[in-house]
């Protein structure tokens, strides 16, 4: 994927890759004020930035812009990385790069959010980064609210308001067979009033096996998601998806 691709005038096929020991050596020098080591460290981790922006290629954004924003996240990672912690640099840097790109996308989102709510969201994200650095784990909403001395509900609303909408048809998983989409992970407690409740179900599902019947019952009458169903009956979500699709296809043919 990197071959013959130019981003910001850089041939990505020629990007240098540093070993972990080289990264640590350069980090020590860079944090002691060695600008040449800092520059070498940035250049040696551009492939890491490139790997992160691949996650955002389907959004229609300019890759050059995303790459530059990702580099800002990389530089912040270099400046803030704690050498005393037993953590790989890439483990720390990737979330920082992703966070920087997400902030950029939120700032350029066409959906307008009130200034006060946006400010609260940005403060929450900054607090989240600080707490993540301090505790080496992602903080809870309660911890962020306590850090900012704000009600938990305000933090939740602010963060949710700047989350970019996701299509129900966006793929979230594929094991080489059936693809699982966002809509497959959403439970609907009103599903028992739709077409499945309006047809002669008893006749249509008579030929299904017991596991298929149970899956349809949990999905369309109990309003459970495929993830919840997989946990309930002890199989993978991909298997639930395939069994559900096969059962529905047979029911449709019968009716």
**pTM of the full predicted structure?**
0.43
Q: What is the pLDDT of residue 195?
A: 43
Q: How confident is the model at residue 90 (pLDDT cuts 50, 70, 90)?
A: confident
> Among 58-62, 99-103, 116-120, 188-192, whose mean pLDDT is lowest?
188-192
Is 118 a domain residue? yes
Tens digits of per-residue pLDDT, 54-67? 877 766 677 888 88
Q: Is the pLDDT of residue 8 over 70?
A: no
pLDDT of residue 148: 92
Q: How many domains does the chain have?
A: 3
Supply the range of the domain harboring residue 65: 1-91
Instruction: Round the average pLDDT of the chain to a whole number and report it.
Output: 76
| 149 band by pLDDT with thresholds 50, 70 and 90 | very high
Comparing 129-133, 153-157, 159-163, the range with the smallest average pLDDT is 159-163
Q: Are residues 49 and 72 in the same domain?
A: yes
pLDDT at 11: 63
Helix (H/G/I), strand (E/B), else coil: 180: strand
Same domain flag for 34 and 77 = yes
How confident is the model at residue 12, as a pLDDT? Answer: 62
- What CATH number is attached to the domain comprising 143? 1.10.10.10
pLDDT over 70 at 196, yes or no: no
* Whether residue 4 has pLDDT greater than 50: no
Tell me if 180 sits within 8 A of 241, measured CB to CB. Answer: yes
Considering the domain architecture, whether residues 213 and 127 belong to the same structural domain is answered as: no
Q: Which residue has the higher pLDDT, 198 or 153?
A: 153
Phi, psi of 199 (to 5 degrees): -105, 170
Confidence of residue 189 (pLDDT cuts 50, 70, 90): very low
Q: How confident is the model at residue 1 (pLDDT cuts 50, 70, 90)?
A: very low
Together in a domain, 143 and 227: no
- CA angle 201–204–207, rounded 5-degree value: 130
The CA dihedral of 69, 96, 138, 134, to the nearest 10 degrees, is -130
- CA angle at residue 227 from 226 to 231, to 5 degrees? 115
113 and 64 share one domain = no
User: Is residue 154 assigned to a domain?
Assistant: yes
Q: Supply the pLDDT for residue 198.
A: 47
Angle at 125 between CA 122 and CA 130, to 5 degrees: 125
Assigned domain for 21 exists = yes
State the pLDDT at residue 49.
87
Residue 71 tokens, joined = 């580099």
Q: Is the per-residue pLDDT at 204 higher than 80?
A: no
Same domain, 177 and 232: yes
């Amino acid at each position: 994927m990197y071959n013959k691709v130019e981003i910001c005038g850089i041939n990505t096929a020629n990007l240098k890759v540093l070993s972990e020991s080289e990264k640590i050596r350069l980090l020590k020098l860079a944090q002691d004020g060695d600008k040449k080591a800092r520059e070498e460290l940035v250049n040696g981790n551009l492939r890491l930035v490139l790997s992160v922006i691949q996650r955002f290629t389907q959004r229609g954004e300019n890759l050059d812009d995303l790459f530059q924003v990702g580099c800002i996240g990389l530089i912040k990672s270099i400046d803030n990385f704690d050498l005393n912690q037993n953590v790989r640099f890439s483990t720390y840097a990737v979330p920082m790069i992703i966070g920087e790109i997400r902030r950029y996308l939120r700032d350029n989102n066409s959906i307008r959010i009130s200034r006060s709510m946006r400010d609260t969201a940005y403060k929450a994200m900054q607090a989240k980064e600080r707490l993540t650095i301090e505790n080496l784990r992602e903080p809870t909403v309660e911890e962020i609210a306590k850090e900012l001395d704000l009600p938990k509900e305000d933090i939740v609303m602010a963060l949710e308001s700047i989350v970019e909408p996701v299509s129900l048809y966006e793929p979230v998983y594929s094991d080489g067979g059936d693809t699982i989409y966002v809509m497959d992970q959403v439970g609907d407690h009103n599903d028992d009033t739709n077409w499945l409740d309006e047809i002669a179900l008893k006749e249509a599902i008579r030929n299904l096996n017991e596991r298929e019947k149970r899956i349809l019952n949990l999905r369309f009458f109990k309003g459970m998601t495929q993830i919840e169903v997989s946990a309930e009956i002890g199989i993978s979500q991909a298997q639930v998806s395939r069994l559900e699709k096969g059962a529905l296809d047979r029911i449709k043919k019968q009716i």
